[in-house]
Amino acid sequence: MLRRLVLSILIFFHFVTFAQNDEIKLVSWNIKDFGKTKNNEELNKIAEIIKDTDILAIQEVVAGFGGAQAVAKLTDILNRKGSKWDYVISNPTNSPKYVSERYAFIWKTHRIKIKNRGWLVSGLDTSIDREPFLLNFYLDSKQFTVINFHSRPYNKDPESEIKALTRFVIDSLKTPLIIAGDFNVDEKMPVFNTLKKLGYQTTITGQKTTLKWTCEGNQYLNHPIDNIFYSKDIFKVEGKVIDFVRFCEELENARKLSDHLPIFLRFKLQ
C-alpha cells in the first residue's frame, strides 16, 4: 500500500514538472532611461524582480552611450543568481531627434533558444517613431515571435502607430505571436479592436501600470498603458502586473528603477 502511494506521488510530480516545463514566463518592462544612470544597486533590484522569468523584453534602453552597457551589466548580475542568461540589443531606432531608443531582450539560455539576433522592422520606420524590434524564440522545436514595442506619447497620436503595427502583423506574421510593450493607449480603446477580432487577447485588463510622482490617498498608480498581447495559438496560464512598490513610502525609491511596472505573462504554445 505504501509503495503504491509513493509511486502515485512520484507520477503526480512527474506530470506536474513536465507541464511546467512546457510553460514560458515572459516579462515586458519599460525601464525608464535604461542606461548609465542606473547604478549597480538599482540594477541588482531590477534583477531580483525579474530573475524568475524566462524572457525579459525591455523598452526605453538609451540609444547613446550607456544603454547597451546597462543591458550587459544587468545580464551579468542575472548570471550570478543561479541561471545562465544571454541578451540582444537592437540598433537605435530611426527616429526624430531626441526620440531614438534601443530595445533589448534577455533570456535564460537553458530553456529558450534563438537562431538570429532579431531586427528592427525598418518598413515601419516612417509610420512609427520607434519602429518595433522583432525576435524569434524557440522552445524545443516550437517557434514563437515576440515584438518589442514602445509607441509615441499619448498626446502625439500613438493610435496611428498601433494601426500601422496591426497592418504589419496581419500581412507579415504567421507564427504564434506576442506583442509586448508600452502602447501609451488603454487596451480598451477601439484602436485595438482589429487585433482582438483576429483572436488576440491581453495579458491584463483595466490595471494601471505607471507610477505617479506622489501618493494621493494611498494611490500611486496612474495609467493602464503597458500590456502584452498574444495570438490565439498561445494559451495564457497567468497574467499580472508586478507591483514592486507596494507601499507609498517606497514610491520615491521605486521610481529610481522606473516609472512603469513590469507586465508578467506565463503561457504555453498550443
Give per-residue pLDDT as tens, 100-142: 999 999 999 999 999 999 999 999 999 999 999 999 999 988 9
Contacts of 169 (CB under 8 A, 6+ apart): 147, 177, 179, 195
pTM of the model: 0.91
Cell of residue 209, nine digits = 501600470
Mean pLDDT of the chain: 93
Burial letters 189-210, b for 16+ CB under 10 A, else e: eebbeebeeeebbbbbeebbbb
Mean pLDDT, to the nearest integer, of 182-203? Answer: 97
Mean pLDDT, to the nearest integer, of 239-260? Answer: 97
Q: How confident is the model at residue 178 (pLDDT cuts 50, 70, 90)?
A: very high
Contacts of 122 (CB under 8 A, 6+ apart): 94, 131
Q: How confident is the model at residue 11 (pLDDT cuts 50, 70, 90)?
A: very low
pLDDT for res 97: 86
pLDDT for res 86: 98
Mean pLDDT, to the nearest integer, of 213-234? Answer: 95
Cell of residue 157, nine digits = 497620436
- Give residue limits of the domains in the chain: 23-269
Sheet hosting strand 133-139, strand order edge to edge = 119-120, 133-139, 142-150, 177-182, 226-230, 201-202
Domain 23-269 has CATH 3.60.10.10: yes
Cβ-contact 241, 231 below 8 angstroms: no
Neighbours of 119 (CB within 10 A): 14
Mean pLDDT, to the nearest integer, of 208-214? Answer: 97
pLDDT for res 10: 43
Helices 40-50/67-79 angle, 10° precision: 60
Q: How confident is the model at residue 219 (pLDDT cuts 50, 70, 90)?
A: very high
Q: What is the pLDDT of residues 80-102, one digit of tens each?
A: 999 999 999 999 999 998 899 99
Place of cell 507610477: 211
Mean pLDDT, to the nearest integer, of 153-161? Answer: 97
Mean pLDDT, to the nearest integer, of 235-262? Answer: 97
Query: In terms of C-beta density within 10 A (0-12 exposed, 13-18 middle, 19 or more buried), how is residue 98 classed?
Result: exposed
Helix-strand-coil split of the chain, %, nearest 5 = 30, 35, 35
Nearest-5° angle of CA 62, CA 68, CA 69?
110
